[in-house]
């Protein structure tokens, strides 16, 4: 079997991903549901990245909408802690 450049790139990407997940906060943090509400953010993340998607979270996730748990940590970067579902 001949190893192609693309394969090496994929393996490297995989390693980076695993390291990133290991370094991230506890796995138990709930993921962003892949449902009708949140599906569009999966597209935004894919197209424009996490920062672009996160701008929209607090239109619903605020004290008058979908409230946060009382002990919620500082929430400036939602997607740093709340991972997207694997697809």
Q: Is 49 in the site for ligand HEC (CB under 6 A)?
A: no
Supply the DSSP symbol for 86.
P
Residue 17 in tokens: 């991903």
Cα–Cα distances in Å, from 83 out to 34, 62, 66, 78? 11, 19, 18, 9
Among 33, 39, 51, 52, binds ligand HEC (CB under 6 A): 33
| Per-residue x/- track, 65-84, ligand HEC (CB under 6 A) | -x-xx--xx-x-xxxxxx--
In the bound complex, what is the minimum distance in angstroms from residue 24's beta carbon to ligand HEC?
9
Does residue 57 contact residue 81 with C-beta atoms inside 8 Å?
no
In the bound complex, what is the minimum distance in angstroms from residue 83's beta carbon to ligand HEC?
9
Does residue 75 contact residue 67 with C-beta atoms inside 8 Å?
no
Q: Which positions touch ligand HEC (CB under 6 A)?
A: 25, 29-30, 32-33, 35, 37-38, 41, 53-54, 56-61, 66, 68-69, 72-73, 75, 77-82
């Amino acid at each position: 079997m001949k190893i192609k450049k693309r394969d090496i790139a994929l393996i490297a990407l995989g390693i980076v991903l695993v390291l990133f997940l290991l370094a991230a906060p506890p796995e138990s943090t709930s993921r962003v549901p892949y449902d009708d509400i949140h599906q569009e953010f999966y597209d935004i993340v894919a197209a424009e990245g996490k920062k672009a998607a996160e701008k929209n979270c607090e239109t619903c996730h605020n004290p008058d909408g979908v409230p946060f748990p009382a002990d919620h940590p500082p929430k400036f970067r939602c997607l740093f802690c709340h991972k997207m579902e694997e697809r």
